[in-house]
Structure 1
């Protein structure tokens, strides 16, 4: 657990956590904690027991905002994409009048990226901290959306160039993750909409329009994921169509080869019959002539099929 006094974007480490109970003359306190630290923080800041219980649960958290007398409890999901799988990590936030507490189980990239933003913007209030943090979370969804779109385009190109059975597993896996993220985005939009529209005493009125801008970005992201879902359906159709075309191509080649060998089989069948009088059977060069005739017929049919585009 780290406690910092934030004054116009300048950080000062606080050694004694009890010092954060009283409001500072200027700025606010940011306490970055893990779930085990809640046993200390709950009695100090009178955090609601239900909110603390939500932090302690190991189940996946649904984004939400709960309003209590002295503080707000906000849950948003940070996203990470490693090209193979998408991970969501719960970011629990307690917003008070002179403090903000972030509680996580794993490292959250947005918290590390937030520090230079706070310094550059000279942030000195906890609601401004909350705005920049949620803005980074939503921006990360945009980045992941761009990477998913690039992966869909590459997958489409691979399917068109060389269809493989493994492509179907990729399509199914990516589509499942897109649908899963779509379900997560709906409650996350509701949280941001609440911060934008509802009268909240711990959030200043001028800041509401900024949350409105984040909400618009969240709506765009949600619409993009709707598009990704449709693209995955089209991609599956392209995969099935490519397999059908490939099967038709193979059948066409087999049919052409069978047709080419039909006259050859006819000739060999005649000369394989047990009749005494067969044209050319006693000719010295009869066998060679028959082979040449079959070769000429086969080549001629092959050239004819290629000319008509059947091969």
Structure 2
């Protein structure tokens, strides 16, 4: 449940825009990287003080400032004052439980989406909030951890491949979202293989552990869907936006990511339906197995009913029972009982009950 409902550190009644880090710091020290580029050149460096990034706000080239770690509130306040970021936006940035969304503040666009990861040891999908501030010639991205999710985008910028060095900050925002959505496919591929293995195990030997795995996988799909579904709304809003920060040439690329998100959602829904059918299959298989056991026990009990009847008659202690004095009576009764049992078994097989 903690992944679905996050506990807030903010006190009730706090003023709007109050910056309080939600959760714990996930990196020891904040890391700031700067990538400034245009068609002719590139500046790529790590900076220790946020003030070093301030001059790049007015440059005509595109400046990408990437911040890993959110626990330094004074640093974020400095950055917000210089780049004109509203306190409500900063409050959302330090709250990693935000729903994916896009907001237009005239001077900048604020975009939130989720970067998903897969922990193979725990077989669990995780999510990290990525926040983007898209300005005229700059983009500031924020994340909680120190993992580099956007290495392919950095390499494209450094190598000057594709269109990215020829377009503005809006196209860079698209490239980051596209890289994140590509990771969705990788995670779905891993989860899909796991579900296929689970389905085969279910068909071969439906054990109680299969039921636990089905429920666990269903929860993962619910979590996955919760993180991905709102991204469709974000992309739709960006495509319909008339903001000057997004050029019309970027819309076609955003539409491509939108198509990918729709495809991802379709795959998630397919997996959810498959898991539901697997649950029904498990319950049906267990029920059929129980029916088979009950059928065998019923047949055994039915065979022994007449045998028990005969044994009960000759087990009575009446003195004047003529068969009790027969020399071969015991053996004759055994043959009769065996014959009755054989006839009943043959009848059951003829009816295909056995």
Q: TM-score range by the shorter chain?
A: 0.7 to 0.9
Q: How does 1:231-270 map to 2 (within 5 A)?
A: 231-270=274-313
The answer to whether 1:61 aligns with 2:98 is yes
Q: TM-score, normalised by structure 1?
A: 0.85
Indicate if the aligned counterparts of 2:218 and 2:272 stay in contact, CA closer than 8 A.
yes
Specify which of 240, 254, 261 is matched with residue 197 of structure 1: 240
After TM superposition, the structure 1 = structure 2 runs for residues 150-229 of structure 1, keeping only pairs within 5 Å, are: 150-229=193-272
Query: Is 1:4–1:29's contact at 8 Å kept on the other side of the alignment?
Result: yes
* Residue 271 in structure 1 maps to residue 314 in structure 2: yes
Quote the RMSD (CA, aligned, Å).
Answer: 2.9
Q: Indicate yes or no: 2:78 matched with 1:13.
A: no
Q: How many Å apart are 1:93 and its aligned residue? A: 1.2
CA distance change for structure 1 residues 114 and 293 in 2, over 3 Å: closer, same or farther? farther
CA distance in 2, matches of 1:235, 1:6: 51
Structure having the higher helix fraction is 1
| 1:47 partner SS | coil
Unpaired stretches in structure 1, ≥5 consecutive residues? none
1-structure distance, mates of 2:111, 2:146: 18
Q: Which string of whole-angstrom CA distances, capped at 9 and with x for unpartnered residues, describes residues 171-222 of structure 1?
A: 3343344334334333211111122232222223212101110011112222
| Distance in 2 (alpha carbons) for counterparts of 1:185 and 1:155 | 24
Contact 1:117–1:132, Cα closer than 8 Å, also in 2: no
Q: Residue 92 of structure 1 is aligned with which of 121, 128, 131? A: 131
Normalization by structure 2: what TM-score? Answer: 0.76
Q: Does structure 2 retain, via aligned residues, the 8 Å contact 1:33–1:101?
A: no
Question: Could you tell which deviates more after superposition, 277-286 or 41-50?
Answer: 277-286
The offset of 1:264, in angstroms, is 2.1
Would the alpha carbon gap of residues 237 and 5 (structure 1) be closer, same or farther in structure 2, given more than 3 Å must change?
A: closer
> What is the SS of the residue equivalent to 1:13?
strand
Separation in structure 2 between the aligned mates of residue 152 and residue 5 of structure 1, nearest angstrom: 41
The alpha-carbon deviation at position 13 of structure 1 amounts to 0.7
Post-superposition Cα deviations, 1:250-271, rounded to whole Å, max 9, x if no partner, equal 1101111111212321232222
Any conservation in 2 of the 1:34–1:104 contact (CA below 8 Å)? yes
Instruction: Select the residue among 154, 157, 161 that pairs with 1:115.
Output: 154
Q: 1:140 to 1:31 in 2, by over 3 A?
A: closer
Query: Which SS does the other structure have where 2:149 is aligned?
Result: helix
Distance in 2 (CA, whole Å) between partners of 1:113 and 1:301 is: 74
